Amino acid sequence: MIEYYYKKETKDQIEKINNFKKGCWINVVNPNKEEIEFLVEEFKVSEPNLHDGLDIHENPRFEIEDKKTYIYLNAPTNKIKHEYDSAFLVVYAKDYFMTVSRYSLEIVEKILNSNVQFETFNNSRNIVKILFVLSRMFEKSVHKIIKQTKTNRADLSKLKNRDIEKLINDEDKLNNYITSFGAIISTYQRILRDPTVKFIKKDEIIIEDLIIDLNETLNLCKQTLKTISNMRGYYSTKLSNDLNKTVTVLTIATIFLSIPTLISSIYGMNIPLPMQSSNLILPILGGIAVLICSIFLFVLKKKKLM
């Protein structure tokens, strides 16, 4: 799918148009073979770079080829099963601005299909908007995990299996983010330093602030990971202790049941035994069983096993 967006001078929002117009935003989502050939032929985009941009696991990086800048970034997404983020490609050229992705990602929809105002619509400002929205999306996702983690930590004794499963998923997501953050921060720094992408002073300050925010978010991810790890350790220890207590109770119950069973089994044999013919044999045997159980109970309490 190939879509074109353009901002008229008289309007603050961008509009979807039917055909390419110089200076427009080209949004490419999961293109087929014919569309890729069209992009390569019409806009002189590198085909290998296009294929890299369609790989959801591509690492963030910055490349320049044939006077075009290729910026690979990762964005949080909920649209891909078993994935927490996806790579996408930004192509910065003289006559157009292009985004390429395998899936229709939330970050592009958030900018193109909303009422976001564009005071100016040019390639450098578009990059700044993407970098800004991308940083805020990561920050929002991480803070949501932090909030859930603090809620669970407030009462660890009430943690259930589904809470632990959620913590493990959050841990996996944070590890994924940490892997991406280092490359994303380096890409931001490279964009800021490279002379091919010219920013006004205001935009340079914004990107510098975003780099600081991403570093802070990275540190929050690492701290939250330690908290989640400690919570999982507590839960594992708690389960182990509960299991040990259950096994102990069952073992003691088995022993108490086995004492009268043993005595009654002995007197059930077809051999002559003391007081076998006495009318008081039942209460006597019962008393012996109670006495043995009482002695055993006293020993257990003395050794603090109960």
Closest CA to 305 of 255, 261, 233, 235: 255
Beta partners for residue 2, in sequence order: 28
pLDDT at position 248? 76
pLDDT at position 116? 58
In contact, 58 and 5? CB cutoff 8 Å:
no
Per-residue confidence in pLDDT tens, the chain, 306 aa = 888 888 776 566 777 888 888 878 888 888 888 888 888 888 888 888 888 888 888 888 888 888 888 888 888 888 878 878 888 888 888 888 888 888 888 888 877 775 655 545 566 777 888 888 888 888 888 888 888 777 766 565 666 667 677 777 888 888 888 888 888 888 888 888 877 777 778 878 888 888 888 888 888 888 888 887 777 777 777 777 777 777 877 777 787 778 778 777 776 766 676 766 666 777 777 777 788 778 877 777 776 666
| Reported pTM | 0.70
* Residue extents of the structural domains in the chain: 2-239, 267-302
pLDDT at position 104? 84
Long-range CB pairs of 148-152, under 8 A, 24+ apart, other chains included:
149/224, 149/227, 149/228, 149/231, 152/231
Dihedral of the CA atoms 154, 155, 156, 160 (nearest 10)? -120
- Separation CA 133–CA 137 (nearest Å): 6
pLDDT at position 218? 86
Torsion angles phi and psi, residue 170, rounded to 5: -65, -40
pLDDT at position 158? 64
- CA 276 to chain CA centroid, nearest Å: 72
pLDDT at position 130? 83
Q: Token digits for 290?
A: 């109670």
CATH superfamily, domain 2-239, is: CorA soluble domain-like (3.30.460.20)
